[in-house]
């Protein structure tokens, strides 16, 4: 599982998480469309695809393939490391 923080570093990737939160299980093209429409992010399909790879490597997005479609689902579980690391009053501090 790659670095969650690095995954969150890019503005476009955060927008993707927002888009997936609006509606789960979208395809690459749907995500591209929504990014353009709702978030004024105009990137090439490949750019978005690469971002999705990063998000998936970080465990923030899971994918399932059906025919020629690939659906993307949001998983916020990795985000809880942030809470556990600094916001938690009784931490298991210092791991990385």
Partner DNA sequence: ATCATAGGCAAGTGGCGACTTGCCTGTCAA
Partner DNA sequence: TTGACAGGCAAGTCGCCACTTGCCTATGAT
Task: Give the single-character DSSP code of 58.
Answer: T
Give the range of 24-32, 46-54, 62-70, 74-82 binding its own copies by CB under 8 A: 74-82
**CA 58/CA 33 separation, integer angstroms:** 23
By the rule CB under 8 A, 22 interacts with its own copies: yes
Residues written for the chain: 96
Residue recorded with tokens 């970080």: 58
Contact pattern for its own copies over residues 34 through 73, marking x by CB under 8 A: ----xx----------------------------------
By the rule CB under 7 A, 46 interacts with DNA: yes
């Amino acid at each position: 599982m790659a670095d969650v923080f690095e995954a969150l570093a890019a503005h476009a990737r955060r927008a993707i998480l927002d888009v997936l939160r609006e509606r789960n299980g979208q395809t690459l093209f749907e995500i591209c469309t929504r990014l353009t429409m709702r978030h004024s992010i105009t990137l090439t399909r490949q750019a978005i695809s690469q971002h999705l790879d990063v998000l998936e490597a970080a465990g923030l997005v899971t994918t399932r393939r059906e025919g020629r479609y690939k659906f993307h689902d949001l998983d916020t579980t990795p985000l809880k490391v942030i809470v556990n690391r600094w916001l938690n009053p009784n931490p298991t501090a210092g791991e990385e």
